[in-house]
Amino acid sequence: MNQKVYLGIDLAKASSRVAALGEDGDEIESPFNISNSKEGIEKLLSKLNSYKKENIVVGMEVSSNYWENMCSYLRQKDILCILLNPYQVKKYRQALGSKIKTDSIDAAAIAQLVRTKKCESIYISDDKVLELRELVRIEHSFKRRVKDLKRSVLALLYLTFP
């Protein structure tokens, strides 16, 4: 199909809620759950196999670390991912007049926000930079632990041999 489809994914720990909208804003499919795994994403893509990959746009909030694997896998499949600030999504949902917050409402608000193109994708460094950042954090953590252990050993030595 040549029609664009806009997906809003409300990420959670075990499973995520997905809402799908067409170009006209109509719901293509009622919101459904997928597991946060390769199989879950494959289930999502199989539901959309009638659409060309370049016509699929996925929006998701950058909250906690659940978005990383989902976004990385979708980008490997050449699907456009737009990463949104959770505050921006909250304000957009409130502007729509929704006072209730459910996973389905959040997913639909994300899809609608992406569809209207009134959002900016958050800049996220590429995978190599993120890996280097994580390695530096781990190094600092180990150095801190070594200092703490040295202090503990010295304190025990001073107690044992005053």
Closest residue by Cα to residue 114 from 51, 153, 66, 61: 61
pLDDT in the model for residue 133:
84
State pLDDT tens for residues 36-77.
888 888 888 888 888 888 888 999 888 777 788 888 888 888
**At 151, is the pLDDT very low, low, confident or very high (cuts 50, 70, 90)?**
very high
Q: What is the mean pLDDT of residues 22-28?
A: 85
| Distance (Å, whole) CA 62 – CA 86 | 7
The residue behind tokens 């489809």 is 5
Q: What is the mean pLDDT of residues 102-130?
A: 78
The percent of residues in the chain predicted with pLDDT above 90, rounded, is 19
Tell me the pLDDT of the chain averaged across its residues: 85
Query: Which amino acid, 53?
Result: K
pLDDT at residue 124 greater than cutoff 70: no
**At 147, is the pLDDT very low, low, confident or very high (cuts 50, 70, 90)?**
very high
Residues 19, 27 contacting (CB under 8 angstroms): yes
State pLDDT tens for residues 80-96.
888 888 888 888 888 87
The percent of residues in the chain predicted with pLDDT above 70, rounded, is 94
For the chain, the straight-line distance linking the first and the last C-alpha, in angstroms and rounded, comes to 81
